[in-house]
Structure 1
């Protein structure tokens, strides 16, 4: 596949308003939730510039220090009404009474589960519905098109778990707007931080889940500092200002974003821009293949221009304290296994990435030490997962477990049905790797074999 063709597919994937695939019916819905969450009240600190975001990262990863405890002033109960944005899909032939509730991780939104790229070849939802399951993929509270909030003292892990629990209860009671049925069984499927929240829910509300699929997950938190450092965090509104822009912090954004503003003319065609880059490099004596040219563009700020990352007319308005990875190279370190992921899809992930809040980072380690849930639990990791395995899930564990993913069994002392699987040649961002679909089928087979048929 040529680089230009890859880019064309990328842009098509991000602009097409596709609502159905061959075997399913989907709709975007909004779910109102009312939550009560006991959580931390943290001392405010400067977080406006990217120098200040780096200072936060340095303090967060500082050896022998606990920034959460150092900033914690008190506790409070957060109560309020919020909206959760979701995408509901069901098999076209017959709707199932079992639904998979999909919760994304840091850096993503609900589209992580249903990537339309390359005709849905990387879509988890496509495989799940083909196997007879209904799915509900949510934007976590605070992210994407769900309700936003103060990034320090509102959007914290506990509040997001409470919102997830409310969505679960509404599914069971037939109270989700736009879904005209009751679901007898809810399987919680998470990725990374979404897996932590699904596990957290099972600990607080063990009777409100019928099964857990935890992808990109393990009990180990020792690699978190490396992950945060590798992200090279920026304020989202500074990193992609026209997409993430927070109008109160960038008052000039409105004038620059006017469609006919002469300061912001339409970008030249992709082929024209790449042609100029290619000529300039050859003039300076560089020799390269077309694939190397595409990698060069995708891994630098040039890629932001070529793919128009900031060209949006509906900014998400994230205030300072909503942080994001600096670029695709930072994301590769954390999420991707070099040589085994689709570069065009990785660029799409950069174009559609989502932030993490300071409050989430300060509270994500506060999950319960065990869950009394006694139902089926399946942990599914890429064998090269960095955030939860340090890049090698097969490395000696120092325990009786055969690999790091299998260590998760210790979190469930009630000894329900437990399984662990490592997907070969795969990093933390499982859904972006060439063999993602094979992994999705492994998950569906495991669910069926352990009593969670659609």
Structure 2
């Protein structure tokens, strides 16, 4: 298992410390800036929106990612990240970064780290809630393989010149993120340009066990309330022709079979959004859906 330190940032609401913390971890291709986007942050920063709603946030970078240490790329796995996430949940309950202990901990993933969250929560039952974004059991394999096939070693990318020397770390090629993670009708070109500047590396060894979480079985062991969020134009997570993301009810009908009654499954589809729901023009509707779910299920 790779060893190292996880980079993290704890933010409390301006109104004062909260007894609930949301642990935010981005998937492959992103670091913590996905949750705390600095272009028009009043619109696109999920972290700010949750703090304004009264919740603390802990933005955490995966190993090999962002401000975390970078072990050899081929040692990285989603299971190791899930084990680290389990330790983070325990630390939050005991008090982290000088904060009082949190009574409630909600883990929030996107894409690959939604898989990580399923691995963690189905094994440890230590979170009070689980939010899975860019995730479903109807993973579109041809589209996913098509996106993965365009990745290349970060040592060849101008954004990582001199910073990454391990050829096992991969990154998206310049100019591909609009196709992979957005729908053009629901994306600000300036957001996509900023996204390109802040993109992140990952290792293919994180995918096998991470994607295995989308197979039937594992998610049925989650006993905390679950919210699944997808964009209606998510080419990776919405099945063939976006069929499972027609609307929130359709997504619920498709996903309910994979979760136990204890999960109290709720779903939300952000109309028009691609895979990266945090960065869609209408992302505020998703933020409000999350806040409503938090107020209802995390008390």
Corresponding residue to 1:362 among 208, 227, 246:
208
SS in 2 for 1:179: coil
Alignment of 1:175-324 (within 5 A): 176=96, 178-206=97-125, 208-221=126-139, 223-231=140-148, 232-240=150-158, 243-245=159-161, 315=163, 317-324=164-171
Change (3 A) 1:392 1:138: farther
Corresponding residue to 1:389 among 238, 251, 258:
238
1:102 CA drift (Å): 0.6
Alignment of 1:102-141 (within 5 A): 102-141=24-63
Quote the Cα distance in structure 1 between the aligned partners of 2:245 and 2:47. Answer: 34
Quote the Cα distance in structure 2 between the aligned partners of 1:396 and 1:212. Answer: 19
1:146 CA drift (Å): 0.6
- The aligned length equals 294
Quote the Cα distance in structure 2 between the aligned partners of 1:390 and 1:318. Answer: 36
Quote the Cα distance in structure 2 between the aligned partners of 1:361 and 1:318. Answer: 21
Alpha-carbon displacement from aligned partner over 1:173-225 (angstroms, at most 9, x marks no partner): 12x3x23210111001111111111111111111x10001111110123x234
Corresponding residue to 1:155 among 76, 83, 92:
76
Gaps of 5+ in 2: none
Quote the Cα distance in structure 2 between the aligned partners of 1:168 and 1:122. Answer: 25
| TM-score, length basis structure 1 | 0.61
Quote the Cα distance in structure 2 between the aligned partners of 1:433 and 1:228. Answer: 23
SS in 2 for 1:386: coil
SS in 2 for 1:428: coil
1:105 CA drift (Å): 1.4
Quote the Cα distance in structure 1 between the aligned partners of 2:252 and 2:71. Answer: 33
User: What is the root-mean-square deviation in Å for CA atoms of aligned residues?
Assistant: 2.1
Gaps of 5+ in 1: 1-77, 247-314
SS in 2 for 1:162: helix
Q: CA contact under 8 A between 2:153 and 2:169: conserved in structure 1?
A: yes
Alignment of 1:320-339 (within 5 A): 320-328=167-175, 330-339=176-185
More helix by proportion, 1 or 2? Answer: 2
Deviating beyond 6 angstroms after TM superposition, the runs of 4 or more aligned structure 1 residues are: none
1:136 CA drift (Å): 0.4
Corresponding residue to 2:193 among 347, 350, 354:
347
